[in-house]
Amino acid sequence: MSTPNAVTNVPEPEQISGVRTLQGAWPWLPRLAALILSLTALDYLLNLGYLSVITRVESQFFYTVVALMLPLVYILWPMWPGASRTRVPWYDVVLFLFALGVCGYFVYNAEQILDRGWEYAAPDHAVVMSFLFWGVILEATRRAGGLTIAIIVALASLYPMVADTMPGPIQGFPASPSETAIYHAMSRESVMGIPLQAFANLVIGFLLFGVALQHTGGGKFFINLAFGLLGHVRGGPAKVAIFSSGLMGSMSGSVITNVMTTGVLSIPAMRRVGFSRSYAGGVEACASTGGVLMPPVMGATAFIMATFLNVPYGQIALAAVVPSVLYFLGLFIQIDAYAARYGLKGLPKPELPSLKQTLKEGWYFIFVFVLLIWMLFFLRREAIAPFYATALLLFINQVLPYQRWGWQDVLNFFSSAAKLFAELIAILAGVGLLIGALSMTGLSGTIANDLIYLAGGSTLVLLLMGALTSFIMGIGMTVTAAYIFLAVALAPALIQGGGMNPMAVHLFILYWGMLSFITPPVALGAFAAATIAGSRSMETGLQAMRLGSVIYFIPFLFVLNPALILQGAPQEIVLVLGQALFGVLLIAGAMQGYLLAVGDLCRNAVLQWPIRGMLIVGGMTIAVPGGGPVPLTNLELSLISAVMLVPAVGMALWTNGGGALRREYRG
């Protein structure tokens, strides 16, 4: 960029992920594996037939995906935290070769597994290899996903062997150790189940697209665009964090990566105009969490959701538009209210990137997103859309002089892709074991029935139980792993017992699983932002929880009325959306103590609390859809809202000096 303060460098995820920095010839291994995987996926998805030796049958392709990526975990992730991050020890080399051999066995025998029914009557050598495959996956899950998820997966995968000895509510059909191992390794309900199928059929292309965006300067472009558009307005740097993190989330798919990438730029800028350390960290954590939920390219979990629901990914992305807009609107209003209340200005325009120059140099990023959206929503080509978008992006990037790749850039691209592929494959294969155990024992249906019984048939109680369960699972596991488990165990209860819209239920689970990133005592996203801001972790977590308050009830809005995820008649969608927008405006303003067109709500130390409380209650009652599980009609809720809002607004205007409408709002 020509302007002195334009962003010229954005940290890449691999710089902050903690994986090994491979030396010597070792980096070529993941690069080659990522290249082969990309070509294999293209050959399979386009039905080209050039690599039919490993894509002849679908299960062989899935085994090939695992064989290419799972062994890399033993090279990329150390056995324990204190191990060398630059040197690959001999035992990891042995484990890599061992894992490669075990996975290769299933690639080689994929056709026989189908043709000869090994899932039901496997030869002795296949049984032994199934046990080894099981063990290889568990250790890879521990290294890439962490000890917590590994323990959960290990215990769950062993469950079929003792299912008949468990107490009544969790009792299931038993299986021998050999039957369990064979089921995990060879059935389409365990490791080779929905999570891995979604990865192989959908996720590979979108991960490549995200990595290509980062390595061609997409991160720099989005951040400069955000600063150029919003850096000068009231509270500008915080609004920049919302805009840039929302766009960056489409590239990384990870809250922590998003925080560490955009936070190093947005948090210091927020501090400069007067935001406190903890507030700046909270803003970044909330923005980064929302970025992963923002269409058109959401995290890997959304693609798995599409496979679970058996709908095109485009429908998932479309359904997520309104909840995402409501969340970012609430965050934007809170930031603007905070800036207005404390008189925080934006950055001087001369110090910001030139918007014209930014668009001149990065227009093609917008063009590529338009192509991707067109292919997703109009052509319905979800599987190959990201490959076309990536090819176009790389072609334009090489034609234009701004970010043209050299040979080292190509190598870095495949290195980054390999790390993402390997990490996700390890986690998905591990969660596949968990799903397989539930499927084999019949426990998934039992859990659903037990939850319905415990809720006493009450939909609202079921939803509260679902929210709490999703949140707790989101603490101990990755969001993808937590979602997959709950999609199998909890979603059927909400759909069958509550009669709710399936897509709304699955989005509800996803949203509540994400909340652990901004909710103490865990709040991993907020704690990551606190390290950049130099603030106390718990204080930053509490700020993030307050700033993201809207996201705690948005899932209840769309699960109670699917019109908010664009499932319903047009007039109903417009009405419900209008109510939700008004409710979010009131709640967000009350949370920060400043309401648009009214002014500061905190002028009177005594009256501010009833005013703000009544505005929050009024906002909630206007936003919540009446009827159905809610025991009040829309009219009754509107009357309650009016009873709360009229006196609250009247008192607020009175405390602001006679009731004149405020004029402070300038962006």
176 and 298 inside one domain = no
Q: Is residue 470 part of a domain?
A: no
Q: Is residue 282 part of a domain?
A: yes
Q: Is residue 82 part of a domain?
A: yes
Domains of the chain: total: 3
Instruction: Give the end-to-end CA distance of the chain in Å, rounded to a whole number.
Output: 26
Q: Which residue is it, tokens 């790389």?
A: 394
Q: What are the percentages of helix, strand and coil residues in the chain, rounded to 5?
A: 75, 0, 25
How far is 190 from 433, CA to CA, in rounded Å?
5
179 and 276 inside one domain = no
Q: What number of residues does the chain have?
A: 667
Whether 485 contacts 435, CB under 8 Å: yes
229 and 192 inside one domain = no
224 and 342 inside one domain = yes
How far is 538 from 550, CA to CA, in rounded Å?
20
Q: Is residue 445 part of a domain?
A: no
Token pair of 224 as six digits: 């400069």
Q: What is the mean pLDDT of residues 638-657?
A: 90
626 and 660 inside one domain = yes
Lowest mean pLDDT among 235-244, 357-366, 478-487: 478-487
185 and 222 inside one domain = no
610 preceded by cis ω (within 30°)? no
Instruction: Look up the pTM and report it.
Output: 0.86
650 φ, ψ (degrees, to nearest 5): -60, -45
296 preceded by cis ω (within 30°)? yes
Q: Which residue is it, tokens 């929210």?
A: 467
212 and 274 inside one domain = yes
627 φ, ψ (degrees, to nearest 5): 80, 175
List alpha helices for 80-123, DSSP H. Answer: 90-108, 110-115
Q: Which residue is it, tokens 């072609």?
A: 395
180 and 207 inside one domain = no
192 and 206 inside one domain = no
Q: What is the C-alpha radius of gyration for the chain, rounded to an integer number of angstroms?
A: 26
Q: What is the mean pLDDT of residues 2-13?
A: 48
Tell me the per-residue pLDDT of 12-28, one tens digit each, with 9 for 90 and over: 444 445 688 888 899 99
How far is 393 from 405, CA to CA, in rounded Å?
12
Whether 559 contacts 504, CB under 8 Å: yes
* pLDDT at residue 252 tops 70: no
Domain range spanning residue 213? 202-417
* pLDDT at residue 417 tops 90: yes
Decide which of 148, 167, 196 is a domain's last residue: 196
Within 8 A by CB and 6+ apart from 551, the residues are: 286, 289, 290, 327, 330, 511, 514, 515, 518
Model confidence at 72, in pLDDT bands (50, 70, 90)? very high
How far is 393 from 412, CA to CA, in rounded Å?
16
Q: Is residue 313 part of a domain?
A: yes
Decide which of 181, 196, 211 is a domain's last residue: 196
| Residue among 560, 569, 582 nearest 626 (CA) | 560
Q: Is residue 11 part of a domain?
A: no
How far is 103 from 66, CA to CA, in rounded Å?
7
| Residue among 251, 206, 271, 358 nearest 11 (CA) | 251
Q: Is residue 184 part of a domain?
A: yes
Check residue 253 and give its pLDDT. Answer: 66
How far is 511 from 503, CA to CA, in rounded Å?
12
Q: Is residue 399 part of a domain?
A: yes
282 and 352 inside one domain = yes
Decide which of 417, 445, 468 is a domain's last residue: 417
Token pair of 531 as six digits: 């390290």
229 and 170 inside one domain = no
171 and 258 inside one domain = no
Within 8 A by CB and 6+ apart from 131, the residues are: 177, 181
Model confidence at 661, in pLDDT bands (50, 70, 90)? very low
* pLDDT at residue 315 tops 50: yes
Per DSSP, the residues of 303-358 read HHHHHHHTS-HHHHHHHTHHHHHHHHHHHHHHHHHHHHHHT-----GGGSPPHHHH
Check residue 291 and give its pLDDT. Answer: 83
